[in-house]
Structure 1
Amino acid sequence: MAAGPYLRPTGFVEAPFGHDGKVARLAGGMCWFSAVEILRRGAEPELLAVSDIEAFLSSCPEAEPVWSNLIGTRPPLSCSGRAFRFDQPQIMGILNVTPDSFSDGGAYEDVTAAAEAGWDMSAAGAALIDIGGESTRPGAEPVWEGDEAARILPVVERLRDQGALISIDTRKAAVMRAALTAGAHLVNDVSALTYDSESAGVVAEAGVPVVLMHAQGDPQTMQQAPAYDHVLLDVYDWLAERIDAAVAAGIERGRIIVDPGIGFGKTLRHNLALINGLSLFHGLGAPLLLGASRKRFIGALSKEAPADRRLAGSLTVLQAGLSQGVQLVRVHDVPESVQALHVWRGLRDAALSPA
């Protein structure tokens, strides 16, 4: 467990004009911040103006790598020769080809329907299609790798032939290997390569990007009284350890994306704290993915609305992520999310193009 300090950007402004030396650009993206919250375990947080950061770093050199991560650009990823950029946020569309996913289980078990849904997401503006063949909702039972691969491979192949960029949502090395061979471009592992001891080797050998997501426990048990000393810092430290483990396994640091794992071993308060503190995770130096679409905490805040009636709440969380520099947002409702992103981008463009 790290001693800190941890740096959380805050005091966001729409544009840097007229604020020379008083603001910094977050992760090479479209957000600028004027202050940093300094967090340490067992101590009260402090608020520091960006204009005072050099003096702070002189007195606390151990914070310099974190600061460098906060203001460093995220280089594009190469996916089969195609560049995937992080200088502006992107949408990842969710395509569950399972009978029991929490939101749309059973809707896309048919290969043709699933492929058409994936193509519709791409046409609507999704930069990536995330295909999953095993539900990881709370209480879900594991799926045999052969069944999981049989569900996803025909869909991967069809979307590959249509030119879509494809992410494979799996914890299993055999499924990763099969999907990558079939044409997937990225691995999204909710266990951050901890579930299967061979998975890190598969990713390293393939040389593909990987999403490392935080989860406390497995899907069967993760919502049974999850607890943290400090949810923001505990999740941050765990992801830092997983980045180091992935690099030690031969995965290039520049190919790693991190996800704080909203809803995976978290209470309502934990989820809200993580969303409010998303900007902290840029200190890890990796692109940041937010996956909160239609999740249970949205229903808990809206009179127990069912999963298919959580669009407005999902878009609210999307906005919270965009305003804190999140580079990738995983969603069910692609057209609506892309529209919200375009409006946010329009507001940013207007602020950066003063009359």
Structure 2
Amino acid sequence: MNTYTAAEDRYDKMQYRRCGKSGILLPLLSLGLWHNFGDVDDFENSRQLLRTAFDNGIIHFDLANNYGPPYGSAEKNFGKIFAEDFKRYRDELIISTKAGWDMWPGPYGNFGSRKYLIASLNQSLKRMGLDYVDIFYHHRPDPDTPLEETMGALDQIVRQGKALYVGISQYSAEDTAKAAAILKEQKTPFLIHQPRYNMLDRWVENGLLETLEKEGIGSIVFSPLEQGILTSKYLKGIPDNSRAAIEGGYLDKSLITPALVEKVQKLNSIAERRNQSLAQMAIAWLLKDERVTSVLVGVSRVSQLEDNINGLQNLKFTSEELQEIENILKD
């Protein structure tokens, strides 16, 4: 087994942004383990992705109970790599996990009950070999469980020492404000919201970002590249090996319409003028808003991760570029 020693200059390679009104600074890029860390994936590749991330100052690794496949395997594999490579760096890392989606059969393996959230985190900690996570999220709103119960469970988890901070994901602006009020009353450290956000999916601009700013809560956005659509992959249609080409995959091929391809081609032209890949520009576009604390990237190859990191060297847009992008997106 190769002994891993992290790059000494790792903190010189990354920029950090304060997470809301907290003591936490997050890297502009964080590594998501939704794909590429399950039992179906190459374990050594997963290890190299984590090492490359940390060597470049990415100190935040984002997981969830059901990441894999199969469910739980991303946490289990992360736990193996953590034990061998990162244990001595534990206090430099922000490790997060979540519960809220389907995890095991029956009424207590899903959504937002106190029973499910606490049981799920106990399982997650065991799989990862950790005493605590830095952030524990409720992964999605539960329309039936009272918000007081779900937020009460997050509060209990912090008081038990199993998480330092709590977060929520995909909550509306209204429900985020309600959750913030409950957690504030309990004096629970509500750190962050994890919404889906990219150039093609801008729902957070309809009130959520304003709510986060008002409440002093940070944000970490997922699907910044719209499952690969905002990369060079689909500039000429659907490649055979792409997510959209896989039956039952995470990306519906019917979404890749000629109109969308044309839109992406126009965006790519702007990226080329900026000497960036489309993926780099899409990430930079998100980070132009200071209310976005960090962008969560999912990568399958070290080269993709390095491309994303290199894109941070060019985050500024002219007003003309922003207007041109806006015109394309509004079409």
Please indicate the TM-score interval, normalised by the length of the shorter structure: 0.3 to 0.5
Greater per-residue strand proportion: 1
State the TM-score, normalizing by the size of structure 2.
0.46
